Every structure is written in structure tokens, then in C-alpha cells.
Amino acid sequence: MMASAALPEAVESKKNGNVKYAFTCAIFASMASIILGYDIGVMSGASLYIKKDLKITDVQLEILMGVMNLYSLIGAFAAGRTSDWIGRRFTVVFAAAIFFVGALLMGFAVSYAMLMAGRFVAGVGVGYAIMIAPVYTAEISPAASRGLLTSFPDFFINLGILLGYVSNYAFARLPLHLGWRVMLGIGAAPSALLALMVLVMPESPRWLVKNGRLADARAVLEKTSGTPEEAAERLADIKAAAGIPKDLDGDVVTVPEDRNSSETQVWKELILSPTPAMRRILLSALGIHFFQQASGSDCVVLYSPRVFKSAGITDDNKLLATTCAVGASKTLFILVAAFLLDRVGRRPLLLCSAGGMMISLVGLGTGLTVVAHHPDAKIPWAVGLSIASTLAYVAAFSIGLGPITGVYTSEIFPLQVRALGFAVGVACNRLTSGVTSMTFLSLSKAITIGGSFLLYAGIAALGCVFFFTYLPETRGRTLEEMGKLFGMEDSIMVEEDQGTRGEEKAVHQSGRKLDGNQETTATASLS
């Protein structure tokens, strides 16, 4: 009796320890995203001084602000191939090293051309980072806590933005020629720290299985699963997805060539001739990435000092202090989202987020339009509405569309196309962000700054419709089961081959305790 009473406590202790290990690995990998956030945040304030010091035009400035998003396309696509070649873990190190060099180039820039060169190198590093961090985290996380853990990259993006704002505020009092260079150059510090931390991380178990290293994969899964039985089930699922026969075991095995797809085959499966289910997965990823950026998220952050200046705040110190409040709001609400993802689900948070963004953008556009129509008079309610709407917008974005974009995209692609699929999503994200951020100043001159945000509000409304009609709920599903949600026949066949083990898994995984009616509802939501 005493022994049986002690057993649950022992199992729970092991489970908690393993969750903490997966938690630590997710934090280290997600820190790669901090370099993107820092660049976005620091450029919003540094741009005020860069324009004065280098005497550049608005067009040159908006190109400087947004071009990194286009440069990051190179890193995002290269990261897919690199992570399949050298592994997820060392790709994180590679990303940190590239950004380190880029940050130093920007910090020591003596001309606009050299600054653009630094932006190019840093942009490639950012592309690597934003692609690999969510993929690694999703692949190492248990299904029951994957939503929480894969939201960490977005948390670190927001933390990086906040640190960028704080850097602006801290170094703004330095001489003009020195202040913005210190702001940009100090971004090399977190990337160097990341490269050191990543040495204690294990490799992704899915990458290990894909390369036939079953013993290494089993060791990682045992460290990140609640029980040995759960680790064995996860390993069996990953082997099936990689095309390794169930009865084939050993420390190192040969992965069948017909399932371990070549690069050409991966492109064919995902882009050139996808099945209807794969096409739906791809469009889901592209859609969520597009609407995340087309609704103006980067413009609000990058140009927040200019937005507040348009609202009537003219003092530089007050501008930078107000932008710090924006960063604090983003960071706070991303924490709220992290703990709701595995409780509420992806779809409800996405819908609330898009709706909140739409309402906030309408308020921001209205407030700025009223201020613009009365340039010689201060209208306190319009200024207050503009500031409150900006804070509400970043809160709504951070509680849903911000973190869920990376979480959802890292979940839905099958193993053999996951790296490329996520890279395609990131490419869409960065391209859309680059277009919006590089045209914001010109768009504001054409239709006013208030009109620009009203346009983004309309795009957010379209995003809300897309999320409601097209995206299924993925909460609690293992990565190997995602294909079933999108109608993949081979995914269904895998589950049938596993027989009764699938029924046991449904009871074992706490995050997936669905009864028959709930299972039917989750699948029917695709119709």
C-alpha cells in the first residue's frame, strides 16, 4: 500500500523534471529570436539619429528600416537546407555567428553604404534565427506542452524589442555620431551569449531519427517525456513518419531512400505538385504569416516614435519613453498568450487577436486623422486615443497572432517537408513585412498616416475571416497526427498500422483527452 502510494509521486517527479529539461532547451533555442526583436526595437529609435547624422532622405530611411526583411529571405531558405544538413542545434549557432558579424558592421558603419552592408549580413542571420528556433522547439516539445514551449520564440522577439527600446532610451544622450552606433553594435552581445548557451542543448530527436540515429533520439526523448512509455510512443511515431519500419531497431539504422526524400522530392511534394491536403497545409501557413505582417504589426513597432510624434508628442525623450511602454505591453501579453495556448487553443486566440487588432487600428487611425485635421490645436482625447489604441494593438497582437504564427507553422508540416515548409512561411512573413515597412512613409504621405492604419484595419478584418473559415484547431495533437486534420491519407494509414497503441496514447497524453464527440468536432472543423 505504501509502495503503491509512493509510485505516482515518483512518476510525477520524473515528469516534472523532464518538462523542466524540455523547458530549458526551448528557452535556449528561442533566444535566437531575440536578435530579430532587438533589431526591430532599436531601429525605431536609432533611425531618428541616423537620419540626422547621415543626412539621408525619408525614402532612404524606409529602405534602411525594411530591407532587412528582404535580406532575411536568404537566411530563411538557407536555414531549411542547413538545418537538414548539420542539424537544428548547430544551425542556431550559425545564426548567432552571422548576426554577430552584422551587428558589429552596423555599429562601426561610417556611411550609409556600410550601414546597408551590415543590414544585409544581420538580415541573413535573422532569417536563420526566425526559421530554426520554432522548428527546433516544436520538434523537442511533448504534445501536451508544445503550445507553451513553441510560443517562446515570439516571447523573445518581444523581449528583444523591449531591450531595443531601452537601448534607445539609455544611449540617446550620447553624442549624435556615437549614440546610434552603440545602439546597433551592442546587439552583438546577445548573439554571442546564445552561441555559448546552445552547446548544452541536445539535437532535435526528429532530425536524429531522420538521419537514422535512433539511440541518440531515444536518449533525447527520454529526457523530454513524462514517462518511458511516452518516450517509446513518440519514437515510434517519428520512425513511422520518417519511413523507418516499426521492427527495425538499433543504435544507428539506414533510413529507406524512398521515404528519406531528396531535396528535389521535398520541393515537389510541397511546392511543385502537392496533394490537396499538402496544398491546404501550405496555404494555411502562408495565410497566417501574410496576415500577421500585412495588418501593420512591424509598422506600428518600427515607426512608433513617428506615430506618437504625429499624435502630438514632440520631445525625443518622451517619444522614446512612450515606445518603452509599447515594448513592455508586448512582452507582458506574450506571457499571457504562452499560458493560454495549451488551455484555450489556437483558433480562439487567433480570432480574439485579429478582432482586437482591427478595433485598435480603427481607433488609432481615427485618433491620428483627427489630430492631423487640427494641426494648430491640441486635442487631448485624440492624443489619448492614439496612444491607448497603440498599446491595445500590440497587446492584441501579442496575445494571439504574434506567437501563434510560429507555433502553428511549426506544427502542421509533415516531418519530411517541415524545414522547407517553415522556411517558405518565414519567407512570406519577411517579404510581406519588408513591403509594408518599406512603403509605410510613402503610403502615409499618399493617404495620411491615419488612413494607413485604417487600411491595415481592413486587412486585419480579412485575416479574421480567413482564420475562422480555413484553419483547424491543432491543440493537443502530436506532430505526426497533424496530417489527419488536413485530410492526408497516408497519415491515417500510419495511425491504422499502429493499432490499439493509438487508443492508449489518447488516454496517456493529458493534452489530448478528447472523447468521441470532440474528436469528430475537431476533424469536422475542416469542412
Using the predicted structure, report yes or no on whether residue 233 has a pLDDT greater than 80.
Answer: yes
pLDDT value, residue 316: 67
pLDDT value, residue 293: 92
Judge whether 414 and 138 are in contact, CB under 8 Å.
no
Look at residue 426 and give its three-state secondary structure: helix
d(CA 305, CA 314): 9
Q: What is the dihedral of CA 458, 460, 465, 466, to 10 degrees?
A: 120
Judge whether 139 and 482 are in contact, CB under 8 Å.
no
All three cell numbers of 99, joined, read: 548576426
pLDDT digits (tens, 9 = 90+) for 216-230: 888 888 888 877 888
pLDDT value, residue 331: 77
pLDDT value, residue 312: 66
* Average confidence (pLDDT) over 85-112: 89
pLDDT digits (tens, 9 = 90+) for 419-458: 788 888 888 888 898 888 888 888 988 998 889 999 999 9
Number of Cα atoms under 13 Å in the Cβ half of residue 78:
17
Q: Is 513 left (phi over 0), alpha (psi -120 to 50) or beta?
A: beta
pLDDT value, residue 465: 94
Q: pTM of the full predicted structure?
A: 0.66
Using the predicted structure, report yes or no on whether residue 19 has a pLDDT greater than 80.
Answer: no
Sign of CA dihedral 23, 25, 26, 32: positive
pLDDT digits (tens, 9 = 90+) for 281-299: 999 999 999 999 999 888 8
Read out DSSP for 43-100?
HHHHHHHHHHHHT--HHHHHHHHHHHHHHHHHHHHHHHHHHHHH-HHHHHHHHHHHHH
- Least confident range of 84-88, 282-286, 301-305, 378-382: 301-305
| Better pLDDT: 382 or 454 | 454
Q: Quick one: DSSP state of residue 416?
A: G
* Average confidence (pLDDT) over 329-344: 79
Candidates 454, 426, 294, 289; CA nearest to 362 is: 454
* Average confidence (pLDDT) over 12-27: 66
Judge whether 25 and 201 are in contact, CB under 8 Å.
yes
Alpha helices in 345-417, H assignment, sequence order: 346-373, 380-399, 401-412
d(CA 483, CA 487): 6
Is residue 147 very low, low, confident or very high in pLDDT (cuts 50, 70, 90)?
low
* Average confidence (pLDDT) over 485-501: 50
Is residue 494 very low, low, confident or very high in pLDDT (cuts 50, 70, 90)?
very low
Name, in order, each residue with C-beta under 8 angstroms of 398's C-beta and a sequence gap of 6 or more. 154, 158, 329, 330, 331, 332, 333, 334, 336, 337
d(CA 360, CA 209): 46
Structural domains of the chain, with CATH: 16-253 (1.20.1250.20), 265-497 (1.20.1250.20)
Using the predicted structure, report yes or no on whether residue 38 has a pLDDT greater than 60.
Answer: yes
pLDDT over 70 percentage in the chain: 84
Phi and psi at residue 488, in whole multiples of 5°? -80, 120
Sign of CA dihedral 108, 110, 111, 117: negative
Tell how far CA 208 is from the center of its chain. Answer: 23
Judge whether 430 and 127 are in contact, CB under 8 Å.
yes
Candidates 144, 133, 138; CA nearest to 16 is: 144
Using the predicted structure, report yes or no on whether residue 16 has a pLDDT greater than 60.
Answer: no
* Average confidence (pLDDT) over 4-16: 41
Judge whether 91 and 207 are in contact, CB under 8 Å.
no
Look at residue 527 and give its three-state secondary structure: coil
pLDDT value, residue 121: 93
Helices 276-294 and 401-412 sit at what angle, rounded to 10 degrees?
160
Q: Quick one: DSSP state of residue 200?
A: G
pLDDT value, residue 302: 75
| Better pLDDT: 525 or 389 | 389
pLDDT value, residue 509: 41
Name, in order, each residue with C-beta under 8 angstroms of 90's C-beta and a sequence gap of 6 or more. none
Candidates 416, 411, 400; CA nearest to 484 is: 411
Is residue 256 very low, low, confident or very high in pLDDT (cuts 50, 70, 90)?
low
pLDDT value, residue 1: 40
Judge whether 353 and 187 are in contact, CB under 8 Å.
no
- Least confident range of 59-68, 249-258, 358-367, 469-478: 249-258
- Mean pLDDT, the chain, rounded, equals 79
